[in-house]
Amino acid sequence: MLLEYVMMLLVFGLTTTVERSHIEALAFQGTTRHPPHHHYTPPPSTVHHLPQQILESMSLAAQLPSSSSLSSSALSSSSSASTSLASYSQLELSNAIVESFEGVGSSSEPQFENTTEREVIAAVGTTARLHCRVRNLGDRAVSWIRKRDLHILTIGIMTYTNDQRFLARHIDNSDEWVLKVVSVQPRDAGIYECQVSTEPKISQAYKLMVVTSKAQILSNRELFIQSGSDINLTCIAPQAPGPYTHMMWYKDSELINDSTRGGIRVVSEQQMKMSNLVISRVLHRDSGNYTCSADNSNSDSVFVHIIKSEQHAAMQHELATRMQTPRLLLVLLTFFYLFECSTK
């Protein structure tokens, strides 16, 4: 850049010398370049329409290795354009130099990408993630700030709060910085800012909304299913956020799908926020804890007992006996009450 500026000064010097010599020669001959009593206005031109000869002279200076290696041939090539340069004012050429160096040495500033979700909905007890993407970060740091109390939660990947539910996640060489909130509570709702340590600082706001949503299996908490029959469970999540809800079934923390064993059918309606699990011809090994899990919702579970037919009859008899005991007690209490009233 310094070399190009020096070369421009040399061209300016040559131009001034040639123009001065030309004017003196005309004055000596007793003539003028322009009619008297008229102010000369150079032809309209802009920096963007400089003749090709001038542009070549500019590029010649850029190609020289250093100022100390300038040769007489290079100076001769530059002086060949001096006559054309004389028709342009020094102001125009100065503007050309300024515009030619425009943007040199400047660097891209950090910028936020607006491709991530700015409003996040999470159910109580689930994990919420706020995604912030920053381009051209350089050596700046990304921080997450809680807006309501201006509390610094994380700087980089370090946590700066006693509440260890707040974590920062970042993959090397990526533009994404994630604030992770584990086991979301209603008090976590509010505005969070992704802040970049520029001067002045820049930030982008994110809104976390916390809802209370729970999946519900439409059955008793314990089920007794006779061996050889079918398990039929229905799960709903009417308060799950969003227009669609993905639902999954687990048995003892193991995901249930068609590959688990034959005779399994899972039918889910994401828009209706409902799922149905059917297991045909159950065996004793199908006993266990069955859980329904929905997006952004707390899960629900029931325990299924697979019993033989004689066990089923015994269980029904025991259940009937338990139900008869309160009735007998009620009859006795009624009898003593009537007896006491009759003796008064």
pLDDT at 105: 39
Residue finishing a domain among 211, 246, 275: 211
Residue 173 clears pLDDT 60, i.e. is over it: yes
- Residues 240-262: pLDDT tens digits? 877 888 999 999 989 998 776 88
In a domain, 193, yes or no: yes
Least confident piece of the model among 56-65, 114-123, 263-272: 56-65
Residue 214 bridge partners (DSSP): 298
**What proportion of the chain, given as a percentage, has pLDDT over 70?**
58
Angle, helices 72-79/52-63, rounded to nearest 10 degrees: 160
Q: Which residues are within 8 A (CB) of 300 and not within 5 positions of it... i.e. 6 or more apart?
A: 214, 215, 216, 217, 235, 291, 292
Q: Using the 8-state DSSP alphabet, how is residue 35 labeled?
A: -
Same domain, 186 and 220: no
Q: Is residue 335 part of a domain?
A: no
Assigned domain for 103 exists: no
Q: Which of 211, 244, 263 is the last residue of a domain?
A: 211
pTM above 0.85, yes or no: no
Residue 26 has a pLDDT of 47
Count of domains forming the chain: 3
CATH number at residue 199: 2.60.40.10
Are 180 and 267 part of one and the same domain?
no
**Residue that has been written with the tokens 């109390």 in this structure:** 149
**Average pLDDT score, the chain:** 75
Same structural domain for residues 156 and 132? yes
159-183 average pLDDT score? 94
Q: Which residues contact 34 (CB under 8 A, 6 or more apart)?
A: 40
> For residue 87, is it within any domain?
yes
Regarding whether 269 and 180 lie in a shared domain, the answer is no
Whether residue 139 sits in one domain with residue 77: no
Same structural domain, 80 and 156: no
Q: Do both 226 and 207 map to the same domain?
A: no
- Mean pLDDT along residues 166-184: 94
Same domain, 18 and 80: yes
Residue 241 lies in a domain: yes
Residue 152 has pLDDT above 90, yes or no: yes
Whether residues 8 and 85 fall in one domain: yes
C-alpha closest to that of 183 among 162, 161, 156, 210: 210
pLDDT score recorded for residue 258: 73
In this prediction, residues 87-94 reach a mean pLDDT of 48
Residue 130 lies inside a defined structural domain of this protein = yes
Structure tokens of 328?
């007998």
Do residues 220 and 177 both lie within one domain?
no
Query: Each residue of 94-148: pLDDT tens digit?
Result: 454 444 444 443 458 899 998 889 999 888 888 999 999 999 999 999 999 999 9
Could you list the beta-strand ranges (E) of 56-185: 111-112, 119-123, 128-135, 142-146, 151-155, 158-159, 166-170, 176-181
**Residue 37 counted as domain residue:** no
Residue 211 has pLDDT above 80, yes or no: yes
Q: Where are the alpha helices (DSSP H) in 29-66?
A: 52-63
Last residue of a domain, one of 196, 211, 226: 211
202 and 237 housed in the same domain: no
| Across 8-26, average pLDDT | 52
pLDDT of residue 337: 61
Cα dist from 287 to 160, 282, 300, whole Å: 46, 9, 17
How does pLDDT run across 19-42, given as a tens digit for each residue? 555 445 444 444 444 444 444 444
Host domain of residue 198:
112-211
- Strand-pair partners of 247: 294
Is residue 329 situated within a structural domain? Answer: no
Q: Count of CB atoms within 10 A of residue 165's CB?
A: 16
252 and 229 in one domain? yes
Q: What does the pLDDT read at residue 338?
A: 65
- H/E run at residue 335: helix 309-343
